[in-house]
Amino acid sequence: MASLTRRQWLVGSAGALAAGLTGALLPPGRPAAALAAAGDAELLARLQVCTPADGLARLLEGNARFAQAWRAARLDGSPEQRMQALGRIWQGNCQIDPQALVEGQRPFAAVLSCADARVDPGWLFACAAGELFQVRSAGNTAFNAAIASLEFAVGELGVPLLVVLGHSGCGAVTAALASEPLTPLLEELVTPIRASLQSGDDLTQAVQANVRHAAGQLTARSALLSRAVDRGQLRILSAYFDLGSGQVSLL
């Protein structure tokens, strides 16, 4: 297949879109026919994720696997039992071809999430290295650098799905709700979060309002992302991760 640059893909026809993505998501040097001939059907299926719907199904399936293991680990008391439960998260995604990652990245989704150490998108969506393009800052705010990074993910890497992810117990949103003095830079950090809040919001409501606000900012401030959404090449979703259940819910 003739190679399409990412920029050509973004401005190309629907047919070119499908062809470009199918090829681009395969590991360099390992065409589909070779993978199929090798009986590597599961890896092929994972790498051929190419539409927003495919990406969403893959994320939700991964989170369902994570949440099941997370709940099991909470119930099981011994370190060995927790290790077994959490180890199941990685079953099925340990087929990474290191050489493919040396040659390039082919993420099937991008996530704008909080920097909170408990909220690792790769972990909670049960994704391997190379599968998720991640942009993180405390409070998952759509700062200019974050939007520019996501433009790269969509425009250059052809990512078809973008998820803005908030979470329970968010410290940045808690700080935005409070009135304690902050450093100047932290004030800067919480200012856009405060702009999304309604009077009387509890923490969960505030987190979810902040996520929706950040998601809206992506298309409001990026012509590239807005155009990709209009053309059906990109879907942007808001989501909420509950640390207690391990579950990600779409908002």
Find, among 53, 36, 183, the residue nearest to 45 by Cα.
36
Contacts of residue 46, defined as CB under 8 A and 6 or more positions apart, other chains included, come to: 58, 93, 95
Find, among 156, 148, 165, 153, the residue nearest to 215 by Cα.
165
Q: Which stretch binds Zn ion (CB under 5 A): 6-14, 103-111, 171-179, 227-235?
A: 171-179
CB of 119 to Zn ion, least distance (A): 6
Which residue, 120 or 151, is less far from Zn ion as judged by CB? 120
Find, among 135, 146, 141, 206, the residue nearest to 173 by Cα.
206
List, in sequence order, the alpha helices (H) in the chain: 6-11, 14-24, 32-37, 41-47, 52-75, 79-87, 98-103, 121-124, 144-155, 171-177, 184-195, 203-221, 223-230
Number of residues that bind Zn ion (CB under 5 A): 4
Which residue, 6 or 136, is less far from Zn ion as judged by CB? 136
Pick one of 114, 127, 164, 239: the residue that binds Zn ion (CB under 5 A). 114
Residue 131 binds Zn ion (CB under 5 A): no
Which residue, 44 or 165, is less far from Zn ion as judged by CB? 165
107 in Cβ contact with 145 (< 8 Å): no
Residue 112 binds Zn ion (CB under 5 A): no
Which residue, 70 or 108, is less far from Zn ion as judged by CB? 70
Residue 44 binds Zn ion (CB under 5 A): no
Q: Running DSSP on this structure, what letter comes out for residue 115?
A: -
Residue 170 binds Zn ion (CB under 5 A): yes
Pick one of 4, 63, 116, 219: the residue that binds Zn ion (CB under 5 A). 116
Which residue, 96 or 243, is less far from Zn ion as judged by CB? 243
251 in Cβ contact with 212 (< 8 Å): yes
Q: Which stretch binds Zn ion (CB under 5 A): 51-59, 92-100, 110-118, 189-197?
A: 110-118
Which residue, 48 or 174, is less far from Zn ion as judged by CB? 174
The residues binding Zn ion (CB under 5 A) are 114, 116, 170, 172
